[in-house]
Amino acid sequence: MNLTSRIRIGTDNGLKFRHNRAPFHRAQYWLPQVRDDHAIPAVQIFLTQHAFIRICAHAGSDLQNEVGGWLAGKAYLDKETGKPFIVISVALPAEFTVQGSASLTFTQESQVKLHAILNEDYPDLMLLGWFHTHPRMGVFFSEWDRWLHENFFPEPWQVGLVIEPYSAAGGFFQKQEDGSLNTRCYFGFHELFQRRRRSIVHWRNLIPAENEMN
């Protein structure tokens, strides 16, 4: 994926985390079936079901070319542990992109539109990261994805989601506690339920935590 603007769209050096209780009791934790147990994410990710549905709908809108967008929500510090967590509540499909089978360019028009939507429709939310698809390519960060993430989404609480729509797979890439970013090591997330405790996650590369095989 490519960004044509030099604007650093993802950083907020003046951010002050709100203190809140992490909603583990209202969430299902999904883990990669194949993972590095020594990898410790810098932030816990909670993804609302509404945002998950929006992401999947956009990911399936074009199976021949990459598509993507941005993730917005709020960042907190857990009252009990003092550790950071984010709640992604909004997924914004990118408009005005230039697409290819193995590339996606977010033009300056895309970014202007993003800022307009955030400012007008979601003034209380912050940009928590981005998402894009890898049709028939798997779940990984390319070197270009890494460069983009580190330069445009440099904060430890900002994440990148990759979806492989053909195999129904997905995973989050983010910095680890030591500040490193592994392009082959993705993380799961906490599915934040709405009214009923019924999961809608269908990505085959993830398993619910209670079903983890030892």
Whether domain 2-8+16-211 has CATH 3.90.740.10 = no
CA–CA separation, 149 vs 21, rounded Å? 28
pLDDT tens-digit profile of 22-59? 999 999 999 999 999 899 999 999 999 999 999 999 99
Angle, CA 154 vertex, CA 23 and CA 18 arms, to 5°: 35
With a CB cutoff of 8 Å and minimum separation 6, the contacts of 126 are: 12, 15, 72, 73, 74, 75
Give, as one character, the DSSP assignment of residue 8: -
Residue 153's pLDDT band (boundaries 50, 70, 90)?
very high
Q: What is the pLDDT of residue 214?
A: 36
Strand 126-133 to 68-78 pairing: antiparallel
Using a pLDDT cut of 90, give the percent of the chain over it: 71
Residue 27: predicted pLDDT = 97
Task: Count the Cβ atoms, other than its own, within 10 Å of residue 147.
Answer: 13
Q: How many CA within 13 A on the CB side of residue 40?
A: 6
Model pTM?
0.89
As a whole number, the mean pLDDT across the chain is 89
Query: Quick one: 75 exposed, middle or buried, by C-beta within 10 A (0-12, 13-18, 19+)?
Result: buried
Percentage of residues of the chain with pLDDT beyond 70: 89
Residue 103 in contact with residue 3, Cβ under 8 Å? no
Kindly report the number of other CB atoms within 10 A of residue 180's CB atom.
10
**Domain residue extents for the chain:** 2-8+16-211
**Of 109, 160, 127, 181, nearest in space to 8 by CA:** 127
pLDDT in tens, 106-149: 778 888 988 899 999 999 999 999 999 999 999 999 998 998 89
